[in-house]
Each structure stands twice: as C-alpha cells, then as structure tokens.
Amino acid sequence: KAGVTQTPRYLIKTRGQQVTLSCSPISGHRSVSWYQQTPGQGLQFLFEYFSETQRNKGNFPGRFSGRQFSNSRSEMNVSTLELGDSALYLCASSLGPWTGQRKLFFGSGTQLSVL
Amino acid sequence: GESVGLHLPTLSVQEGDNSIINCAYSNSASDYFIWYKQESGKGPQFIIDIRSNMDKRQGQRVTVLLNKTVKHLSLQIAATQPGDSAVYFCAENISSGANSKLTFGKGITLSVRP
C-alpha cells in the first residue's frame, strides 16, 4: 500500500507570491491533516479535512487555506507569502477524524523557502 | 499554545543501553497519545500509541507508559541502536464533541553513541 505522497518536495518562492501544495493520502484514508514544521515552533496544526469539509482549524491567518477533493486528495494554498512562511509543510492522513481513527501517517513533506 | 511539552531537548545514550524519553501534557481530557519518530529529511513515523484507559503498552523494543495522575507520558526504547537516532515527538489527542485534534510537543533529539 502506497504511503502519503506530497508534491512538490521542494519549493522556492519570493515574498508576495502564492503557492499550492498537494497531498495524496493512503488509499482508504478519508481524513487529511496539514501541519507546519519549523525549528522554533515544532509541529503546528493548520487544518484537517474529512469528506471534503474542513473539520478543524489551527491558529493560522486566512492566507492559509485548503481543500479536499472527492477522492480524498487535498491541497493547501498559501497566498501573499511572507518570509516567516518558510517551513516544512507536512500532510498526514488517517482513516477518520475520531479518536479511534486518529493514528496519523505522514508524508515526507514539502520544504518551502520564501526569499 | 502547545499543551504538550518535553522535559529535555536532547538525550545522548550509549548503544545498547535503554533510552527513556519523557513528555508532560497538561490537558486531563486528552484521551489518546502517540509517539512519533522523525529522521532527517523524512516525515514523522508512527512508533506506538496508547489510549487513556491504559497505563502501559508494549511494542517491539518500545514501551509507552502513561501516568494520568501526573499527566506524564514516557517512551522506553530497549537496547538502543544507532538507527534509533532521531527526533521523537509525543502527541496528545483531545476530543471536543465531534472534533478531535492531535497536538504535538516540540520534540527531543535522541543521539546514540557507538
């Protein structure tokens, strides 16, 4: 069974641009969560999608958005990039959003650098 | 802010020794806990989990202990190997109605000396 796939692996953007990251979950997993990882802040929860609906959202500005498609694949978008958005963006999938299905499986992440 | 924290940022152990990584959590409503291992250039990898109705759970060379009285979680690695060198994260799940969220600690680096 293939794992969580994230594309692209690396991205370099400049301030003010926007970026879209893609995530394909493990087959059969319907929940997709996104995390931002930086050396200083660790893993910060961005949002979670289940059945094409955002179920939960972290404390990030509205520049960060996401969506989920009917095949459970998900994308996240960051508009008007800032230098502080440079981070590793991790996608994780799970069977569902409830406690018994909360075991997350992570992709390798997209390393975003904003210049 | 994060409710899950780790006592030490780094841990250095001799190959073959047992490792103990500790984690404190502050939310007594947390009902599920997971330990993850992250190697350089990779995403976090699931190690072991435990529900709040359990005190101990064992896996292959790893044991997780949960002490709800003092809100403490620990990961024990037996016979630590060089391949165990990585950053370890504890995570707690808090359920609120139909929603739940997994919150991660900052991470601790385990370094295995040959």
- Report whether pLDDT(A7) > 80: yes
- Among A22-26, A53-57, A97-101, B30-34, the range with the most confident prediction by mean pLDDT is A22-26
- Report whether pLDDT(B110) > 90: yes
Contact assignment for B100 to A98 by CB distance below 8 Å? yes
Question: pLDDT at position B26, please?
Answer: 79
Contact assignment for A109 to B43 by CB distance below 8 Å? yes
Q: Compute the nearest-CA separation of A39 from chain B (Å).
A: 9
Question: pLDDT at position A100, please?
Answer: 72
Across the interface, of B51, B99, B107, the residue whose CB is closest to A55 is: B99
Question: pLDDT at position B6, please?
Answer: 46
Q: What is the pLDDT of residues B69-91, one digit of tens each?
A: 999 999 999 999 999 999 999 99
pLDDT band (50, 70, 90) for residue B7:
very low
Task: Please state, in angstroms and as integers, the Cα–Cα distance from residue A30 to each residue in A37, A40, A89, B8, B77, following that order.
Answer: 23, 31, 19, 35, 32
Query: Is the four-CA dihedral A68, B39, B3, A89 of positive or negative sign?
Result: negative
pLDDT: which is higher, A21 or B96? A21
Report the first-to-last Cα separation within chain A, whole angstroms. Answer: 37
What secondary structure does DSSP assign to B57-106, as a single string? EE-SSEEEEEETTTTEEEEEESS--GGG-EEEEEEEEEEETTEEEEEE--
Report the first-to-last Cα separation within chain B, whole angstroms. Answer: 37
Closest-approach residue (CA) in chain B for A109: B43
Q: Average pLDDT of chain A?
A: 94
Query: In sequence order, what are the residues at sequence separation of 6 or more whose Cβ sits closer than 8 angstroms to the Cβ of residue A67?
Result: A49, A52, A74, A75
If we measure between CA atoms, which residue out of B53, B50, B95 comes closest to residue B73?
A: B50
Query: Taking CA B90 as the corner, what is the angle to CA B85 and CA B92, rounded to the nearest 5 degrees?
Result: 165
Across the interface, of A48, A102, A107, the residue whose CB is closest to B43 is: A107
Question: pLDDT at position B8, please?
Answer: 47
Question: pLDDT at position B4, please?
Answer: 56
Long-range interactions of A3-8: CB distance < 8 A, separation 24+? A3/A105, A3/A107, A4/A91, A4/A92, A4/A93, A4/A105, A4/A106, A4/A107, A4/B43, A5/A107, A6/A89, A6/A90, A6/A91, A6/A107, A6/A108, A6/A109, A6/A110, A7/A110, A8/A110
Task: Please state, in angstroms and as integers, the Cα–Cα distance from residue B76 to each residue in A73, B7, B20, B111, following that order.
Answer: 36, 15, 5, 14
Q: Compute the nearest-CA separation of B35 from chain A (Å).
A: 10
- Report whether pLDDT(A101) > 80: no
- Report whether pLDDT(A4) > 80: yes
Cβ(B107)–Cβ(B47) below 8 Å: no
Across the interface, of B46, B101, B105, the residue whose CB is closest to A45 is: B101
Instruction: Give the single-character DSSP code of A78.
Output: E
Q: Could you tell me what percent of chain A has a pLDDT over 70?
A: 99
Calculate Rg over the CA atoms of chain B.
Answer: 14
d(CA A14, CA A80): 9
Q: Average pLDDT of chain B?
A: 89
Contact assignment for B93 to A108 by CB distance below 8 Å? no
